[in-house]
Chain A
Amino acid sequence: MDILSNLAMGFGIALSPFTLMLAVAGCFLGTIIGALPGLGPSNGVAILIPLTFTMGLDATSALVLMTAVYYGAMYGGRISSILLNIPGDEPALMTTLDGYPMAKEGRAGDALVLSGVASFVGAFLATIGLMLLAPMLARVAFYFGPAEYFALYLLAFCTLGGMASNNQAKAALASCIGLAIAMIGVDNNSGMPRLTYGNMHLMDGVDFLVAIVGLFAIAEVFFFIESHGKGSSIGVKLDKVGIPWKDIMATKWTMLRASGVGFVAGILPGAGASLGSFLAYMSEKSLAGDKGGFGTGVPKGVAAPEAGNNAAAGGALVPMLTLGVPGSGTTAVLLALLMTLNITPGPTLFTDRPEVVWGLIASLLIANIVLLLMNVPMVKIFVKILMVPAWVLLPGVTMISFVGIYSLSGSYFDLLLMVGFGVLGYVLRKLDVPTVPVILGILLGGNMENALRRAMVLSDGDALFLWSSPIAIGLWIFAIAGFVAPMFMRGLLRKPQRITD
């Protein structure tokens, strides 16, 4: 009964009036961030990280707030998917397929409540899975040396690169841009500065938060400017909100299966929530067959991707906590938060800092319940947020970004860099090059290089050392499969086109 006593300890840490208040605030903010088109969980968390420093929060409180925002955004993404047919964030993409048709039939309320419940089931089961599996996975980490880590990072690049875009070449290009940026700074293996051009600001390399906020938030601002801040309006009517018990009961097995699929997808480093919702939707679709009516507004088509993407969000925390390797863009940002708080996720986190781990798990459970209570009855209120005109939203996002980044290091240089990344993000999106692999490159590129070079130091430059263990070989096989498979399954994996009507 270790788990129960640990969990009790976790609740002891996470459950105080102050943290509960943070959880509620975080859930609310997260839901809004998730619901706002374009603002997804990763930029939501990235933007709010500096806030935790400004508020002077300690590690536990900061974690509670950020996980609440994280889960909140995963919940909120569905709102604009269903009402506007615009995914609030990338993982909510699949929800548009059946959610919007349901809304058009006048069942928007049902779709929102059903997807809220599905989100809860997915996130709840994933948190349980995290609780049971993570300590087990933590022990495995002693088997991970430089060669294994290198293979693991390679796997992350291959799978995420493959899923983030329909075009492998563009995903690879984006990864390479990220890798190149990761080269800047003092080289860990020789102590020599690289690509810094004598600029002391670049000695520590490019802070990935600067890159994330620039590529996502600032680029978003540029898009708003380009579209002359066109306001958004809701195209469907939201009459009454009831609880569609019949639909919930009818989709219970769908939710459970989708949660399982999503969780596994989330655990794979780099795969993340988008893959989770995609796989969950696709597997339910093939189970139901042609008669299932997927794509025409069926409850199962709403429940599956929502359970899947929220389960994946929980699953992605497993490798992040036990190996220090993020399973998705958002956990990458959370990893950055932990590292800034001087908590290094990794094999020893569970033994070294049980209060952090179990506090986190407890706060996930709290956030989940808060979200369910908040989302179902308050659907109507959240919908109002979508009517916020861009001219209010835009200056807000810009201000938060600038203040946040400046507060990180107190240097104007980072602000220039952030705007530079904003321009880069704008150009890349114009060219339909995904920005997620760029972030991944910056975040993991340095680690991947270090792992390779450590392996070379230990083996006296013998390349075969990279395939010296079954774990490493297995990871290589997955990595190659993950990179090659999408090329052959292009037709199957094509992202759904937005319905234009």
Chain B
Amino acid sequence: MKFRLIKALVAGAVLTAGAGGAATAAECIAPANPGGGWDFTCRQIGKIMHDIGVVDKPVQVTNMAGAGGGLAFNHVVTEQNENEDLIVAASSATTTRLAQNAYAGMTADQVRFVGAIGADPGVIVVGKDSEIDDLDKMVEMIKADPSSVAFAGGSAVGGFDHMKPLMILKEAGFTDIKKIKYIGVDGGADAITQTVGGFTQAMTGDMSEVVGFLKSGDVRVIAVLTDERVPGFDDIPTAKEQGYDVVAVNWRGLYVPKGISDEAFNNWADKLQQVADSEEWKTAMEANGLAPFTKVGGDFQSYVDGLIEDINGMSKELGVIQ
């Protein structure tokens, strides 16, 4: 993950310099500091939209960091509700926080989700000498003794990384999810260090975070949480194959203000679809460890609604929200 952020940062700096004078151009709000995942989304999608000619002027990127995206969400809802030239970067983190009511009472239906066009696949990882070799073994151990498998992940308690193993355990019929041990550390690399060091038994995170350690042979990925196996990692089985119907990916996408016309919404959906189909985007995805994941328009709205419902339910059980 960290690798591509630097690249995005460098590319971003160049892009910003070029995007200066376009006053009437479309604007993309990245709800984080330069260099993060949302920043990458804005800059890459904005750049490709201009490169393939679906927008006349370069898309201007505005960084609006704060409250894990909450400041930008609030800004869009209260001040830009009818701005048809505005798009905002979003990801799984956006929906997770909305589901947990972490944006000070604002809800997902106050904006419209346009689509996602790429995703970092979720993974469950163990140390190379671990006795856990597949999800069945892991679930069996947890059912026998919930405290025997502790997870480390790069997000806080109740965050998306925490949810991944819980989704699998729910599929397996294990409902006492409060008993599952999870520690949130500072990023995927740290989570892996804890797992390799033997302090936790498994790591939950994104594919891009584990690639380096996978190459060095320190860890094994026991399941990837996608519909199909990820190209380039064909020997890693999906959770679905192992009988656990869980898809959890960190998708990269956009939302727009609620108050814009249907025509403007469809227009953005169409543009996003064109980006998804472009060669440029395929190259960008490859360079940044993203797997294809295209859901645009109405399709995506129902996916988001389902996701929020799931996470909301689990968060209540965990006690993260009332």
Contacts and interface: CB of A to CB of B under 8 A. Distances in A.
Interface of A: 53, 56-59, 141-146, 186-192, 198, 200-201, 203-204, 324, 340-344, 346-348, 351-353, 408-411, 450, 454, 457-458, 460
A349 B146 CA distance: 33
Interface stretch (B1-9, B166-174, B272-280): B1-9
A204 B158 contact: no
A344 B190 contact: yes
Contact of B189 (A144, A346, A409): A346
B199 interface: yes
B65 A460 contact: no
Nearest to B12: A56
A191 B101 CA distance: 11
**3 nearest CB pairs, A to B:** A56-B13, A191-B158, A145-B199
Given A342-B5, A348-B189, A450-B184, 7 more contacts: A57-B13, A190-B158, A203-B102, A324-B186, A351-B216, A408-B33, A457-B181
B175 interface: no
B2 A189 contact: no
Contact of B66 (A143, A198, A200): A200
A458 B181 CA distance: 7
Please tell me the size bucket of the interface on B.
35 or more
Interface in B140-198: 147, 150, 156-159, 181-187, 189-190, 192-194, 196-198
Contact of A186 (B2, B64, B68): B68
A192 B196 CA distance: 29
Contacts of A409: 33, 65-66
B186 A58 contact: no
B82 to A, nearest CB: 23
Contact of B71 (A144, A200, A347, A408): A200
B218 to A, nearest CB: 9
A145 B34 CA distance: 31
B264 interface: no
A348 B210 CA distance: 12
B20 interface: no
Nearest to B216: A351
Given A352-B212, A458-B181, A204 B33 contact: no
B157 A188 contact: yes
Given A191-B157, A457-B183, A411 B66 contact: yes
Given A191-B100, A344-B187, A410-B63, A200 B74 contact: yes
Interface string B79-114: 000000000000000000000101010000000000
B320 interface: yes
A191 B212 contact: no
Contacts of B17: 56
Interface string B24-41: 000000000111100000
A333 B13 CA distance: 23
A348 to B, nearest CB: 5
A56 B16 contact: yes
B70 interface: yes
Contact of A201 (B63, B67, B159, B212): B67
B122 to A, nearest CB: 19
Nearest to A193: B102
B320 A346 contact: no
Contacts of A408: 33
A347 B185 CA distance: 14
Contacts of B70: 200, 203
Contact of A59 (B6, B65, B186, B319): B6
A379 to B, nearest CB: 37
B226 interface: no
A477 B194 CA distance: 24
Contact of B33 (A191, A340, A457): A340
B60 interface: no
A201 B66 contact: yes
Given A352-B189, A454-B183, A186 B16 contact: no
B180 to A, nearest CB: 10
Contact of A200 (B10, B67, B185, B193): B67
Contacts of A141: 193
B208 interface: no
A198 B16 CA distance: 33
B189 A344 contact: yes
B6 A341 contact: yes
B200 interface: yes
Nearest to A53: B34
Nearest to A408: B33
Nearest to B154: A344
Given A347-B193, A352-B189, A458 B199 contact: yes
Interface hub of A146, A191, A460 (most chain B Cβ within 10 A): A191
B200 to A, nearest CB: 7
Contacts of B189: 344, 346, 348, 352
B64 A352 contact: no
21 contacts: A56-B13, A57-B13, A58-B13, A145-B197, A189-B184, A190-B319, A191-B156, A192-B320, A198-B104, A203-B66, A203-B67, A204-B65, A204-B68, A341-B9, A342-B36, A343-B6, A353-B2, A409-B66, A410-B65, A457-B181, A460-B147
